[in-house]
Amino acid sequence: MDFAAKTAVLILLLAFAVAVDFICACEGFALSAARFKSAGEVQPRLSRWANYFLRNSKRAASVNFIARAALFSCEASILCAGAFALIDGASWWELAVVFALVCAVAAALRYAFLELPAASFADSNPEGVLRAFSPFFAAVYALVLPLKLVFGKISAKAFGEEKISKALSYDFSDVDVKLRAEANEASALPEYACRIIKNAMALPEINACDVMLPRSRVRFMDADNSLEENLLVARQSGYARYPLCRGSLDDCLGVVNLKDVFMAGPNPDLLKLKREIVRLKENEPLIKVLPKLLKYELHMALVEDDFGGIIGVITLNDVLSELVGHISEDFGPKDDDGGSDKIVSLGGGLYKISGLAPLHRVEDFLDVDFGTDAPSTFGGLVTMSLGRFPKEGERIFFKEQRLRVVVDKVGRKRIIDMTARIEDPETKTDTENTSQ
């Protein structure tokens, strides 16, 4: 094959690699934008493949990441092959310099003429891009996914299943990177706006059970009691809305708003005034809870466990507080739930830990591993380990981590502060609660 034929083949291979790279880039950016707007819900206007990738966005994004890394390697290799073909009798260091320069130029050109145009194109019309490119990306997905699964298992064997499982759950979506950059670096954004963006990014990691009011602390009106008895509950509690039940929260008929009671005139019938209430799963992320409450125009929902039992109540204020910061009721009872997530070393193996401290931060700070990702906060871990909402002064001992925890302060719906102490291996446990 002569030089011209070889050059033509290299150009065709490079054009093919760039075209596939552009499709993957557009698909990735469009998938991120569409997922951010629709929270991963199925869109009737999109194709079957587009909705599949939208529902499985993390897996699609990770496959996209691998495919684009491989495509860049191919593009750089083709350019290097073309450059080497022009060099005859060069020394090894000259070839190394050429290789480095070609890779650097390829990366710069790829960013300027592929990444940025693809991002702009996909951001302007994400649904159109998904409809057009998803069938082509499906072929790349089918080729790369088996490699991802195989090498993921190889990595888990080499570095440990537990460590790699956390890495496999990493979200490669470009929208996350983009929003974090906006929050951390954009000087045009006010500080409070940056905080809201960061809180919004955390919503998928916070479940309904993390912010709900536990069942033991929920006050409700009983449909079998008199109006006077139910109004006494309202006067003692000071809230605006109450579940209307028969005997217990498990038999909830709806929710009663005191405004409706007072506007109904004398002798109102609570059964006629009750409004709809929905049930949410305890592990349902807040990013899905908020749209449901807004869609059905509800301010309150029940939270149930996997067996259908009611374990607490969540309100719209609870969800919005995670987004914009703590919201207190104008005329409700004083809510002393703190908003801090600090971990402070007091010396001598003693630590002051907020109930809102993220569990992964506590593990890193104390150099321990609780072996679970179910609760997102340390307070949630303590509550889950006890199987109920704790009382002030209650103690729990995590045996495997040799960690003693004392609940110092609790609020209306969450643990506020705890004191933790790491024990020596020889220290014996006492009669306090022990978590295995």
What domains appear along the chain, each with residue ranges and CATH number?
3-175 (no CATH), 208-324 (3.10.580.10), 343-435 (3.30.465.10)
CA atoms within 13 A on the CB side of 429: 17
The yes-or-no verdict on residue 331 having pLDDT over 50 is no
Which of the listed ranges 109-118, 123-132, 246-255 does the model predict with the highest average pLDDT? 246-255
Give pLDDT tens digits for 20-55. 999 988 888 888 777 655 544 556 667 788 888 877
pLDDT tier, 210 (very low <50, low <70, confident <90, very high otherwise): confident
**pLDDT more than 90, % of the chain:** 18
**What count of other Cβ atoms lies within 10 Å of the Cβ of residue 231?**
16
Instruction: Report pLDDT digits (tens) over 211-269.
Output: 888 887 788 999 999 999 999 988 888 788 999 999 999 999 999 999 999 888 888 99
| Confidence category of residue 395, pLDDT binned at 50, 70, 90 | very high
- DSSP code for 217: G
pLDDT in tens, 403-435: 999 999 887 767 888 999 988 765 554 445 666
CA distances from 341 to 376, 417, 418 (A): 12, 9, 11
pLDDT of residue 159: 79
- Give 297-322 pLDDT, tens digit per residue: 889 999 998 888 999 999 988 888 88
Judged on CB neighbours under 10 Å (0-12, 13-18, 19+), 75 is buried
